[in-house]
Amino acid sequence: MSELPVHADVICEADGAVARIRLNRPKALHALTTAMCRTMLDALVGWQADEAIRLILLDHAQGRGFCAGGDVRAIAADPSLGPDFFGTEYRLNHRLFTSMTPIVSFLDGVTMGGGVGIGLPCRWRVATERTVLAMPETTIGLFPDVGGGWYLSRLPGRIGQYLALTGTRLDGAECFALGLATHYVPSDNLDDLKLRLAAQPDRAEAILEEFSAPAPDAAILGQREAIDRLFASDNYEEILAALDADGSDWAKAQLATLAPKSPQSCKVSLELLRRSAGLGDFADEMAMEYGLAVHVCARPDFAEGVRALLVDKDNSPRWDPPTPAGVTPALLDALFAPPEGGQWAPA
């Protein structure tokens, strides 16, 4: 077994024809730092140039949860760190997405934000009964980045817009039903599955099928009609008005969920998905999200959202602008403008 120079929080190693990335920061639910992203990116670049490596496995080494997201506290405290973090993270996302060497990700446990960004680009994506997947960025003044615009805009109907705005959590069965996961495997069988994949990497797809089990019913599909009807608009105020006019218990619950979200983030998210739907290249998606991330992190809502949720934990953010009406078309245009420090480019 050959082991690459590693950052303490992520283990990258290769054994014969199989390479492995294991997130190893359990106390932070494996939240990604710039150093972790750079270590994974460097490992992937090397492995993908090595014809002997025929399969890559991506999971977590210990603890609960696959990856809870990016470690955003430092960036909220010092926005100047944002370009390096997001630039590196997005190059990692793109490298995973475009890898010619097949990659299997194991979305076992909490998979949010940055965890979605490294899990979903992989060719095969395994969900379990412990999977909890979400893009909750509107709660902290951000937006569904790390390729979120690409994945969510391509979900059936208006489910992507619903998930982007509300940050609703999906279980493993829902991930499988929506195509976010390619396989559903009981968590008790994961260790055996990984051993089989390591022993027979050229039979990866057949082995994944062999270990797959029927997924339970996907609860979100029972709300498909309401989601498509009430989240039909790309105008955030129109969505809020539709929910208010509907008056059902489900609609009221969505209004209550949206009430504490950043109005800026909600409008940015809708516009991101609208633009993402028309893109044909994942690199273009990442370039757009990079510019947007640089601009958004320099605005007040990101630091305030992180403060309210993760630092002071008072859950009482003071958004700026405080209402959807204050998020003008001119502000949105400025947020989607190219970044002043230079465009993003793949590794």
Per-residue pLDDT reduced to its tens digit, 259-271: 999 999 999 999 9
Token duo for residue 118: 């490294």
Distance in angstroms (rounded) separating the CA atoms of residues 311 and 306: 6
| Structural domain includes residue 341 | no
CATH number, residue 112: 3.90.226.10
Predicted confidence band of residue 128 (pLDDT cuts 50, 70, 90):
very high
User: What DSSP line would sit under 320-345, residue for residue?
Assistant: SS-SGGGS-HHHHHHHTSPPTT----
Q: Which of 17-31, 52-66, 70-84, 94-108 shows the lowest mean pLDDT across its residues?
A: 70-84
Q: From 183, 211, 239, give the residue that closes a domain.
A: 211
Distance in angstroms (rounded) separating the CA atoms of residues 306 and 317: 9
Instruction: Examine the residue annotation and report whether 228 is marked as an active-site residue of this protein.
Output: no
| Structural domain includes residue 346 | no
Instruction: Examine the residue annotation and report whether 280 is marked as an active-site residue of this protein.
Output: no
Q: Are 241 and 267 within one domain?
A: yes
pLDDT above 80: residue 1: no
Distance in angstroms (rounded) separating the CA atoms of residues 98 and 269: 24
Active-site choice (9, 137, 171, 271): 137
Q: Domain containing 246: what range?
A: 223-335
Instruction: Examine the residue annotation and report whether 117 is marked as an active-site residue of this protein.
Output: no
| Structural domain includes residue 345 | no
Q: Where are the alpha helices (DSSP H) in the chain?
A: 34-48, 73-77, 82-98, 114-119, 148-153, 159-166, 172-177, 190-199, 204-211, 224-230, 236-246, 249-258, 263-276, 282-297, 300-306, 329-335
Q: Are 56 and 193 within one domain?
A: yes
Q: Are 118 and 28 within one domain?
A: yes
Distances (CA, A) of 212 to 124, 183, 262, 296: 12, 6, 39, 40
Share of the chain above pLDDT 90, in %: 93
Per-residue pLDDT reduced to its tens digit, 186-217: 999 999 999 999 999 999 999 999 999 999 99
Contact call for residues 43 and 19 (beta carbons, < 8 A): yes
| Structural domain includes residue 347 | no
pTM to 2 decimal places: 0.96
| Structural domain includes residue 239 | yes
Distances (CA, A) of 227 to 240, 246, 266, 308: 12, 12, 16, 29
Residue where the block lists tokens 């509300």: 166
Q: Are 36 and 182 within one domain?
A: yes
Question: Residue 5's pLDDT is what?
Answer: 45
Q: Are 295 and 172 within one domain?
A: no
DSSP element (H, E) containing 124: strand 124-127
Q: From 211, 232, 259, give the residue that closes a domain.
A: 211
Distances (CA, A) of 178 to 170, 181, 218, 257, 269: 10, 8, 9, 22, 20
* Total tally of structural domains belonging to the chain: 2
DSSP element (H, E) containing 12: strand 10-15
Given the DSSP bridges, would you call strands 183-184 and 170-171 parallel, antiparallel or unpaired?
A: unpaired
How high does pLDDT run on average in the chain?
Answer: 96
Q: Are 86 and 175 within one domain?
A: yes
Measured at the CA of 116, the angle between CA 114 and CA 122, to 5 degrees, comes to 120
Max Cα–Cα distance, the chain, nearest Å: 62
Q: Are 183 and 150 within one domain?
A: yes
DSSP element (H, E) containing 103: strand 103-107
Distance in angstroms (rounded) separating the CA atoms of residues 137 and 234: 18
Q: Are 200 and 233 within one domain?
A: no
Active-site choice (108, 145, 174, 304): 145
Residues 6 or more apart whose CB falls under 8 angstroms from that of 39 comprise 6, 7, 10, 12
Residues 6 or more apart whose CB falls under 8 angstroms from that of 252 comprise 243
Q: Are 112 and 251 within one domain?
A: no
Q: Are 250 and 159 within one domain?
A: no
Q: Are 193 and 227 within one domain?
A: no
Closest CA to 171 of 137, 221, 118, 207: 221
Residue where the block lists tokens 């979200």: 261
Look at the chain and count its residues: 347
Per-residue pLDDT reduced to its tens digit, 141-159: 999 999 999 999 999 999 9
Instruction: Examine the residue annotation and report whether 312 is marked as an active-site residue of this protein.
Output: no
Taking each helix axis as running N to C, give the angle between helix 204-211 and helix 190-199, from 0 to 180 degrees, rounded to the nearest 10.
160
Q: Are 259 and 201 within one domain?
A: no
